Amino acid sequence: MTQSPALDQPYDPALVESRWYGFWESHGVFAATDSPADARPVYVVPMPPPNVTGSLHMGHALMTTLEDVLVRWHRMRTFNTLWQPGTDHAGIATQTVVERMLAREGKTRHDVGREAFVERVWQWRRDTGDRIHLQQRVLGASPDWSRTKFTMDADMSRAVTEAFVRLHEQGLMYRATRLINWCPECRTALSDLEVDNEEGANGELFEFAYEVEGGGEIVVATTRPETMLGDTAVAVHPDDPRYTSFHGKRVKHPFVDRTFPIVTDAILVDPKFGTGAVKVTPAHDFNDFATGKRHGLEEINILNLDGTMNANAGPFAGLDRKEARRAVKKALAEKGFARGTKPHVLTLPRCQRSGGVVEPMISTQWFVKMAAMAEKALDAVRTGKTVILPAEWTKTYDHFLGNIQDWCVSRQLWWGHQIPAWHGPDGKIVVARERPKELGPEWTQDPDVLDTWFSSALWPFSTLGWPEETPALKKFYPASDLETGYDILFFWVARMMMFGLHFMGDVPFRRVLLHGLVVDETGEKMSKVKGNVIDPLDLVHGATFEKMVPDADALTKFKKAYPSAAAMGAGFPAFGADAVRFTLATYPPSNKRIALAPKRIEGNRHFLNKIWNATRLALDLLGDWKWMDEPPPKGFYNQWIRSRFANACATAHDGLDAFRIDEAAHAAYRFFWNDLCDWYLELAKPILRKQTDGTFLRPDQVPETRATLAYVLEGSLRLMHPLMPFITEELWQRVPRPQSRKASIALGPYPTPDAEKEAISAEVEAWMGTLQQVISAVRTVRSEHDVDKKADVPVAIRADVPEMVAFLRGHVEAIRGLVRSKGDPVFEGRGGAREAGTTVSIVTTPQGPVEVLVGLKGLVAKDDELARIDREMKKAEKDVAALEKRLGSPGFVDRAPPEVVEEARKQHASLLEARARLGEARKLAEEL
C-alpha cells in the first residue's frame, strides 16, 4: 500500500484513492461472510458487464455508483451483504461492436465466417474486460471483479440450457412459423422490444390500380409499393357503398400470373383513409397477416433473408428492397396503373442494433409463452412482493406485462448461447441438456443462439449457482435490491421477474430501484455521433479536452454540450472518484434525465476539501485526546451538534431506505458544512484552543467538547462513507474511535437514527437558532456598512423575556468571538434610550423579538443605513399585509386549525412589534 498523504497537505484524491482498494480486499470488505444469526442476509443483484453500448460510459458509472452506495450501506448495517461478481452473459453489444469493426474493413460477419467472428468477439471482450475492471476499482465498487470471467462461463451456459429445456418440457418453449421482425442487415430475427420506431420519417403514399376481373378497377394506396408482389387480397369495408359492386370479385396481379379476391374486412379497413381500399400482404405486414388468417388468404414471402427479392417476386427477383420499390413503381406507371403519390409522414421500424429498416417476415423461430408468467409477475408487484421505485414506473410495468406477446428468443447470430436442440431427418427435433448419444451424425445442433436477454433474465439466480441448490442460492435468493436504469425495465427487469417466479417460485428481488439516464449538460443523450460522450475515468483522473476529443470540430461540439465546462480552461481537473460518486448520488431518482454538469462535480470536490480540512482542524483541537466510550455530560453547543447529527442520521437513513440517496447526500452535506464547520467548529475553537498564557478559557468544558467533537466527526465519516468511500476511509483511520471498531470504516456500523434518537432536542435547536440569528444580525450590519474586519464594535442586545436575556447572557463569549464586539455585549430590557449612531436590527424568534444594537458612530454612511432599514421595513410591511389579509379573510379564524390561527396571530404581533422598532430605528439613523 502506498504511503498515507500527510494531513497538512492539501487534499489530493489521487493520493488518497490509490491506497484503499487493496486494503479493502485484504480485509474481506467485499466478501459476504457468516454473520450473527439475526443478521438479515442482503443481496444486491449485480449488473452484468456493460451490454448496451459495450463501452465505458457514464451510465455504467452511475449504475456502479448507486449499486455500491446501497451495498456499502447495507453492509455497514448488516455485515452479511452480498454483491458478488457475476459471469459474463452473451452481451449483444459485443458482436455489434465487432460487426462495426468489420464494416470499416468493408466486410460482414458472413465474409469472415462463424469461427473467426467468434474469436474476434472474444478478443474484444478480453480487451474491454480489463478496462471495465479498472473502472470498477477506480470508483471503489465492491465486487471482486478480478474474479469476473469475461467468457461465457460454463455455469452460466448450464443455467441457460437448463432453463431452455425445462421451458420446453413444460410446453412454454415452442417452435413456430409466424410473422416476426427481421433485420436484413443483421440477418436475424428480433423481439418486439428490439425494434425502435423512428417517427416523422418523410415518405409518400403511392396509389395504384388493380384491374378487377369482369371490368373496372380498384385503387389502393401504399407506402411500400414493392410489397404488392406479395399481395393476396384487396380489402374494403363491408359498409362502404363505393365498393359494394366489387364484393366477391377478384383482381388480376399485373406482374405475376395470379388473381386474388376482394374481401370485406371491418377491422383492417378505415373507409375514411386513402381510397378506402387496402392491399393485403399477409407475409409482410402484421395487420395483413391477421387479416389473412381471418380470410384464409395465401401468404407469399417475397424476400430473401438479406432483403433482396426472391423468386416469388417474378421479374423483380434479385433486386434489393429499395431497387425493387423503384422498379415496381416504374413498371406500374408503364402499364398505366399508377395513380399518383402524396407526401406522407410515417414511422419507420428500425433495428436497435444496426439501424436498418426492419421487415416483417414469415419465419420459423423459437418462442416463449408469456401470458401465464406475465400474470404472475404482475401479481407480485400488485401485492407488493416486489416494490418498484420510483413508484410511477409501476404503471409502465403493468402496461407492458398486460399487453405482452410471446417472446421470440432465437437469433440467427453467432455469438451467444446456442440453442440446445438437434435437427434430424424429416424435420424431427430433439431438445436436450446435451447432445443425445443415440443421435446419428446426420443430426445437427440448431445453429441459432438465444436472445442475450434470455440469459440475463436468469441472472439473479444463475449467478448464485442455479440449478444447483447451492448454499448461496438458499441464503441470498430472493435478493434485496436491484438497481438499474429505467431503460431496461422491459428488457431485463420484467423478464427477471417472470423467470424468477417461474423457476424459483419467488420474486427475484424485493425492491427494484430505477434511476434516470445520464445525458449531457444541455439534456441531449450522450452519443458518439454527437461527440458529447464523457468517459468517467477522465472525470476521476482529469483529462485535457485535446485528449478527450480528437479534433477542433469535435471540441467545439463538446464544449457546446458542456457549457459550464467550456470555461474550465484546458480540460477537466482530477475530480477524484469520491467527487464523481457523490455527485452521481445527488441526483434524485425521479429525475429521468441526469444532466451531467462538471461544475457540479467541482462543487462537490470542494466539499471533500472541506471535509479534509475540517478533520485536520478537529484533530488539532482534539490534541492527544483518547476515545471514551461514555460521553461526559454535555453543554449547550454539544447538545446542539448532537441533535443536528441525530437529525442528519435520521434523514440519511430514511433517504437510503426509500431510495432517495440524494436526500441522504444532501443531509450529510448540510450537516457537515453548515452545522459542523460553520458553527460548531467555530464555537469549539475558543474552548479547545489554549490562550496565550497556555490555559484554557473554560477548562470545565474541554473534556465534554472534545468527546462530542470526536463523536460527531467519527460518526459523520461513517454516515458519509457509502457516498465517498475513499476519503472517509483515509480520514477515519486517523481519528479517535472506539476500540471495538474493526479495521476498516467499511465494516460499519452505519449510524442509525435509533442510536442517536435521544440526542434530538427541538428546544436546544430553537435556542441555538436564536443565537445564530442574533449573530447573523450583527454580521449583516457590519458587512452592509463595510465595517473593517478588525474593528471592534459595541453591541447591545435588548429583550424583555427573562429566559431570553439569561440565555443570551450565557453565550456572551460566543457572540463576542463570532461578531467581534467591543467587550462583552450589553444586555438590556427593551425600549431604553439609544445613543446616536447606533443601528438597530430586529430579530424575530420563537421566544419573542430581540433588538440587536450595533454602535457604528463614525463608521457608517447614513444613507446606507437608511436604505437597509427601508429594505427591512418593506419586507416587514409585506409580511404584515399578507398576515392581515389572512387573519381578516372570512372563515380563516373559524375554520383553520386553531394552532395555525394561533401561530399567525403570534407572528402578526411580533411583526407589528418589529415594524414599530424599525420605525424607531429609522429615526435614530437620521442622527447618524
Partner RNA sequence: GGGCGGGUAGCUCAGCGGCAGAGCGUCUGCUUUACACGCAGAUGGUCGCAGGUUCGAUCCCUGUCCCGCCCACCA
Instruction: Please identify, using beta-carbon distances, which residue of 111 and 270 lies nearer to RNA.
Output: 270
3-state secondary structure of 193: helix
Instruction: Please identify, using beta-carbon distances, which residue of 119 and 678 lies nearer to RNA.
Output: 678
- The C-alpha atoms of residue 176 and residue 668 are separated, in whole angstroms, by 57
**What one-letter code names the amino acid at 273?**
F
Instruction: Please identify, using beta-carbon distances, which residue of 372 and 867 lies nearer to RNA.
Output: 867
Q: How far is CA 182 from the centre of its chain?
A: 32
Instruction: Please identify, using beta-carbon distances, which residue of 402 and 829 lies nearer to RNA.
Output: 402
| Sequence-separated (6 or more) residues with CB below 8 Å from residue 828 | 796, 797, 798
| Sequence-separated (6 or more) residues with CB below 8 Å from residue 446 | 410, 418, 419, 420, 421, 422, 423, 429
Which residues lie across from 251 on neighbouring strands?
Answer: 212, 260
Q: From the CB of 609, what's the least distance to RNA, in Å?
A: 3
- The C-alpha atoms of residue 48 and residue 45 are separated, in whole angstroms, by 9
SS (H, E, C) 298-364: CCCCCECCCCEECHHHHHHCCCEHHHHHHHHHHHHHHCCCEEEEEEEEEEEEEECCCCCECEEEEEE
Q: From the CB of 666, what's the least distance to RNA, in Å?
A: 6
Instruction: Please identify, using beta-carbon distances, which residue of 661 and 796 lies nearer to RNA.
Output: 661
Beta strands 795-798 and 826-828: pairing type? parallel
| Sequence-separated (6 or more) residues with CB below 8 Å from residue 687 | 696, 697, 698, 701, 702, 705
Q: From the CB of 473, what's the least distance to RNA, in Å?
A: 32
CB 723 within 8 A of CB 581: yes
Instruction: Please identify, using beta-carbon distances, which residue of 205 and 430 lies nearer to RNA.
Output: 205
Instruction: Please identify, using beta-carbon distances, which residue of 163 and 585 lies nearer to RNA.
Output: 585
Q: Which residues of 205-235 are buried (b: 16+ CB within 10 A; e: fewer)?
A: bbbbbbbbeeeeebbbbbebbbbbbbbbbbb
Instruction: Please identify, using beta-carbon distances, which residue of 108 and 776 lies nearer to RNA.
Output: 776
Among the listed residues 483, 489, 485, the one whose alpha carbon sits nearest the alpha carbon of residue 592: 485
Q: From the CB of 402, what's the least distance to RNA, in Å?
A: 10
Q: From the CB of 857, what's the least distance to RNA, in Å?
A: 19
Sheet with 795-798, side-by-side order of all strands: 826-828, 795-798, 848-855, 838-845
Taking each helix axis as running N to C, give the angle between helix 725-732 and helix 598-622, from 0 to 180 degrees, rounded to the nearest 10. Answer: 10
Instruction: Please identify, using beta-carbon distances, which residue of 90 and 280 lies nearer to RNA.
Output: 280
Instruction: Please identify, using beta-carbon distances, which residue of 278 and 408 lies nearer to RNA.
Output: 278
- The C-alpha atoms of residue 511 and residue 42 are separated, in whole angstroms, by 12
Instruction: Please identify, using beta-carbon distances, which residue of 104 and 272 lies nearer to RNA.
Output: 272
Instruction: Please identify, using beta-carbon distances, which residue of 80 and 291 lies nearer to RNA.
Output: 291
Beta strands 195-212 and 593-595: pairing type? unpaired
Q: From the CB of 712, what's the least distance to RNA, in Å?
A: 13
Q: From the CB of 753, what's the least distance to RNA, in Å?
A: 19
| Positions of E strands within 36-158 | 42-45, 81-82
Q: Which three cell numbers stand for residue 680?
A: 460548531
Q: Which three cell numbers stand for residue 556?
A: 467545439
Q: From the CB of 374, what's the least distance to RNA, in Å?
A: 14
Beta strands 42-45 and 81-82: pairing type? parallel
Q: From the CB of 371, what's the least distance to RNA, in Å?
A: 16
Q: From the CB of 761, what's the least distance to RNA, in Å?
A: 21
Q: Which three cell numbers stand for residue 601?
A: 462535480
Among the listed residues 837, 656, 832, 701, the one whose alpha carbon sits nearest the alpha carbon of residue 76: 656
Instruction: Please identify, using beta-carbon distances, which residue of 682 and 828 lies nearer to RNA.
Output: 682
3-state secondary structure of 647: helix
Beta strands 250-252 and 838-845: pairing type? unpaired
Taking each helix axis as running N to C, give the angle between helix 577-585 and helix 725-732, from 0 to 180 degrees, rounded to the nearest 10. Answer: 120
Q: From the CB of 466, what's the least distance to RNA, in Å?
A: 29
Instruction: Please identify, using beta-carbon distances, which residue of 163 and 228 lies nearer to RNA.
Output: 228
Q: Tell me phi and psi for residue 110, to 5 degrees.
A: -70, -20
Greatest pairwise CA separation for the chain in angstroms: 121
**End-to-end alpha-carbon separation of the chain, Å?**
66
DSSP, res 147? G
Q: From the CB of 440, what's the least distance to RNA, in Å?
A: 43
